[in-house]
Amino acid sequence: MLSAACKDSIRAMIYIANLSKQEEFRDRFISIHRVAKDLGLSFYFLSKNFQKLVKAGLLQSHRGPHGGVKLLKKPSEIKLIDIVAVIDGMDFFKTCILGFEECSDTNPCTIHHLWADKRAEIYRMFESTTLEDAINNIEKFENVKV
């Protein structure tokens, strides 16, 4: 499934999107230390993931006392699949769940037909869900974890 780095990056991006809605954080850089601390994540690993997201054009970073990261696009323009593609790549949505190199509709493994439908459903969920959708769920439901 998704790597820990990918899950952490998705959580961090949702956190940043939600925080950036507040007046005091709008158009400001958010400290990576704050993100790591508030989410209980490793600063070092989060920084490495953020570097990838900066390179991909999803985040902007700034060094210094008022540095940190901020979204380069609106939360409604960043899909979860964008984050997955940067951190984990798209192999999850293309490869055999049992690890066979040659697995397809014409040359399936024993669970290919079960997995292919689920994999496509998971892809559609990541493709259609934006950071805006995720932060709306924070407001909509009680006890939602980020």
Range of the domain at 24: 4-140
Structural tokens at position 75: 């939360």
User: pLDDT tens digit string along 1-21?
Assistant: 799 999 999 999 999 999 998
CB 2 within 8 A of CB 84: yes
Q: Considering the domain boundaries, does residue 128 fall inside one?
A: yes
CATH no. for residue 71?
Answer: 1.10.10.10
Residue 145 lies in a domain: no
How much is the pLDDT for 40?
95
Spatial distance between the Cα atoms of 54 and 135, rounded to a whole number of angstroms: 21
- Distance separating alpha carbons of residues 8 and 121, to the nearest angstrom: 22
Residue 47 lies in a domain: yes
Decide if 31 is inside a domain: yes
CA separation, residue 105 to residues 15, 108, 109, 120 (Å): 39, 5, 9, 13
What is the distance between the alpha carbons of residues 117 and 137, in angstroms, rounded to a whole number?
26
What's the rounded Cα separation, in Å, for the pair 4 and 87?
10
How many domains, the chain?
Answer: 1
**How does pLDDT run across 68-117, given as a tens digit for each residue?**
999 999 999 999 999 999 999 999 888 888 989 888 889 999 999 999 89
